[in-house]
Structure 1
Amino acid sequence: MGYRWAYCSVLLVSVAQLLIKWAMMHLPPICSPLLWVDSGHTTPLRVLAGGIIAYFLSTGCWFMALRRLPLNLAYPLLSLSYVLVAIFSLMIPAFHETYTLSRLMGVALICSGVWLIYHPSGRNNK
């Protein structure tokens, strides 16, 4: 059950990052607070609120995961959020993200590291 909470936390924090990125792309500059109350910016503000709520829920899931999993197994799972955000930001055309070979290699290294931590051959099963 601890892994389910951890995966839920990873998914929610990834969604939060994407929602907040989209909202910040569509909101006026932070130095123009009067423009934020303009009625044309209600959708980005709602998306921003959704991202903050997703962060809050992610933290709750993380608390539950930490109650059930050792920290040295739970914490590496958080790095999967970097992978999810990288993949989805590349797939969402509105973000205009570009990836170089070095960035893709970085994502592959993160995946390899998590795999090494959880691969059964690396554990002593005696």
Structure 2
Amino acid sequence: MKGYFWGSCSVVLVSAAQLLMKWGMMHLPPLGDYRLWFASANIGPIFFLMGGLTAYVCSTGFWFMTLRRLPLNKAYPLLSLSYILVATCALMIPEFDEHFTLSQLIGEMLIFIGLLLISLPE
């Protein structure tokens, strides 16, 4: 059971990392415009990027703990939860301007059903 706890922590952190880095990249000046980089006093996006990278590193640590406690064929499918979590959270953040589609819902449902089928006891 501890393996699933560590795996869930890893999924939540990797999903947070994706969202933080998306927000940070949306608010950074274009990479090719060096004048804006040096003239800009807004360091908030850099903190979001660094927070996302930190969340990735922490997620990797939790993933190591998951791999110690679960067989790989049970642990690896947990990562697919991050697809559902990121897509759902991105829809809830108005600034991301994501649009909900029926095909997205069907895809997320198929991922979830697949995960349930893989995780069922033998």
Q: TM-score under structure 2 normalisation?
A: 0.93
Q: Does 1:26 align with 2:31?
A: no
Deviation at 1:34, TM superposition (A): 4.1
How many correspondences in the alignment?
121
Distance 1:8 1:65 in 2: 9
Unpaired segments ≥5 residues, structure 1: none
- Correspondence 1:29-40 to 2 at 5 A: 29-40=30-41
Aligned identity (percent) is: 60
Determine helix, strand or coil for the equivalent of 2:100. Answer: coil
Matched residue, 1:69: 70
Distance 1:49 1:113 in 2: 33
CA 1:42 to 1:73, structure 2 compared with 1: closer, same or farther past 3 Å? same
Structure 2: runs of 5+ lacking an equivalent? none
CA RMSD, 1 decimal: 1.2
Instruction: Check 1:35–1:72 CA distance in 2 against 1; reply closer, same or farther (3 A cut).
Output: same
Q: Could you say which residue in structure 1 is the equivalent of 2:114?
A: 113
Q: Residue type of the partner of 1:105?
A: I
Deviation at 1:37, TM superposition (A): 3.7
Structure 2: how far apart are the matches of 1:37 and 1:49? 18
The answer for the alignment partner of 1:99 in structure 2 is 100
Normalising by structure 1, report the TM-score: 0.91
